[in-house]
């Protein structure tokens, strides 16, 4: 019972001292909202009307500091300005973000419990609101200073009123130069829905990359659809696409369709990309990959000799990840960075039932 009072007294004293300091300065850190004057003020009160704010520690009630502008005579409170808070807000941005992160890491009920253990009188509704507010204000886009390589995938999430796993959480992660990953896009929508909303925001950034933009898709062709015609994106992993994308690249290299060179390259790629299913002998798979890789190298050498520059760049870009799936079947695990991230998200989303917006917001905060 004593601590909150001491805390309030402490805050009030520091606040008044800060106010006195500001008033002694020629130029103030606050301005008159009416006339823009930032030099001439007189005190109205140092202990005015009470106001409540949520500090990192708990709610505290402070007596407002009020000044009068000598320029126009209007009165204004300077409490929040001195504390670096927005006008009329009860929760400072810093506190809001901490509460939101807490609510994204564990259930709202547990968050409330933790707070109470350390003397916070924060109810779970406030934590819930913080998650919603912070999450709704978050936006993820590609970073032009990181790698022009992304992975896109979707996973089901449980949403209230809809059959389990009725909606799909779509996430775009970007590879960082440091080797890690960052979230570059996130949305919740219907299964097989388009990736438009998520990718649209990043089109401007994709255009800025000097190297071709590489998108590894979890087999979803519609990921590519929303970017078609707007930017050049190379979708990877789905081997079915490679011979077709190669045809586009050959066309941009000026290679005549169905010419001898064209037929040779396309036919080779068709064969390289055709993976026989139901081969379950690890040694056979290893030998298959080895042979396919050697064959691909020959195609690259051929293209280079012929001067098909774009085709060479394209094949060199895709070759690294072409057989990832096949190789992983050998090891019996996935290397998808998104898949790992989804497990983290599901740990939180599985704790309760969610509305679409609620699930999206909590996921945004968690991933940020």
Positions touching Zn ion (CB under 5 A) are 32, 34-35, 37, 69, 71-72
d(CA 226, CA 6): 58
**DSSP letters spanning 219-256:** S-THHHHTTTTTS-EEEES-GGGHHHHHHHHHHHTTPP
Alpha carbon distance 214, 269 (integer Å)? 19
Q: In the complex with Zn ion, which residue's Cβ is closer, 69 or 131?
A: 69
Please give the structure tokens belonging to residue 153. 């995938």
Q: How far is the CB of 64 from Zn ion (least distance, A)?
A: 18
Task: Please identify, using beta-carbon distances, which residue of 35 and 162 lies nearer to Zn ion.
Answer: 35
Smallest distance, Zn ion to C-beta of residue 366, A: 45
Cβ proximity to Zn ion: between 72 and 125 the closer is: 72
State the nearest-atom distance from the C-beta of 41 to Zn ion, in Å.
9
In degrees, rounded to 5, the angle at the alpha carbon of residue 229 between the alpha carbons of residues 223 and 231 is: 75
110-135 burial string, b = 16+ CB within 10 Å, else e? ebbeebeeeebebebebbbbbbbbbb
Secondary structure of 1-34 as H, E, C letters:
CHHHHHHHHHHHHHHHHHHHHHHHCCCCCCCCCC
Q: How far is the CB of 119 from Zn ion (least distance, A)?
A: 41
Residue length of the chain? 368
Q: How far is the CB of 15 from Zn ion (least distance, A)?
A: 22
Decide whether 71 or 156 has the Cβ nearer to Zn ion.
71
Secondary structure letter of residue 64 according to DSSP = P
| Cβ at position 68, least distance to Zn ion in Å | 9
Within the chain, residue ranges assigned H as helices are: 2-24, 79-82, 93-105, 108-117, 124-136, 196-200, 203-208, 222-225, 242-252, 260-273, 282-306, 309-319, 324-331, 337-349, 356-367
User: Which CB sits closer to Zn ion, 29 or 335?
Assistant: 29
Q: Least Å distance between CB 74 and Zn ion?
A: 5
Nearer to Zn ion, 70 or 256 (CB): 70
For the bound state, the minimum distance from the C-beta of residue 197 to Zn ion, rounded and expressed in Å, comes to 45
Q: Which is nearer to Zn ion, 25 or 328 (CB)?
A: 25
> What's the distance, Cα to Cα, between the start and end of the chain in Å?
37
Query: By C-beta, is 12 or 37 nearer to Zn ion?
Result: 37
């Amino acid at each position: 019972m004593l601590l909150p009072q001491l805390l309030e007294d402490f805050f009030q004293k520091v606040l008044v001292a800060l106010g006195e300091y500001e008033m002694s300065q020629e130029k103030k850190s606050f301005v008159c909202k009416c006339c823009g004057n930032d030099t001439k003020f007189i005190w109205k009160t140092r202990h005015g009307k009470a106001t409540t704010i949520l500090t990192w520690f708990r709610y505290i009630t402070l007596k407002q500091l009020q000044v009068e502008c000598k320029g126009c005579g209007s009165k204004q409170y300077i409490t929040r300005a001195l504390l670096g808070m927005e006008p009329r807000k009860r929760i400072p941005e810093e506190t809001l973000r901490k509460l939101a992160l807490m609510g994204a890491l564990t259930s709202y009920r547990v968050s409330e419990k933790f707070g109470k253990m350390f003397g916070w009188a924060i109810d779970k509704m406030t934590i819930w609101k913080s998650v919603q507010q912070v999450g709704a204000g978050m936006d993820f886009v590609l970073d032009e200073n990181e790698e022009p390589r992304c992975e896109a995938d979707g996973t089901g999430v449980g949403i209230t009123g809809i059959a389990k796993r009725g909606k799909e959480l779509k996430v775009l992660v970007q590879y960082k130069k440091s080797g890690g990953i960052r979230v570059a896009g996130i949305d919740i929508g219907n299964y097989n829905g388009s990736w438009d909303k998520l990718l649209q925001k990043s089109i401007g950034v994709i255009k800025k990359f000097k190297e071709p933009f590489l998108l590894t898709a979890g087999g979803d062709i519609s990921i590519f659809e929303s970017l078609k015609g707007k930017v050049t994106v190379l979708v990877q992993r789905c081997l079915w696409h490679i011979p077709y994308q190669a045809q586009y690249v050959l066309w941009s290299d000026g290679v005549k369709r169905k010419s001898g060179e064209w037929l040779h390259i396309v036919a080779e790629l068709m064969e390289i990309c055709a993976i026989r299913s139901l081969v379950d002998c690890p040694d056979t798979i290893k030998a298959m990959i080895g042979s396919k890789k050697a064959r691909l190298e020959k195609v690259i050498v051929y293209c280079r000799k012929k001067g098909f520059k774009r085709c060479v760049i394209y094949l060199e870009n895709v070759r690294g990840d072409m057989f990832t799936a096949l190789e992983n079947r050998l090891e019996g695990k996935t290397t998808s960075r998104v898949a790992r991230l989804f497990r983290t998200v599901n740990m939180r989303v599985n704790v309760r039932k969610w509305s679409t917006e609620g699930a999206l917001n909590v996921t945004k905060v968690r991933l940020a």
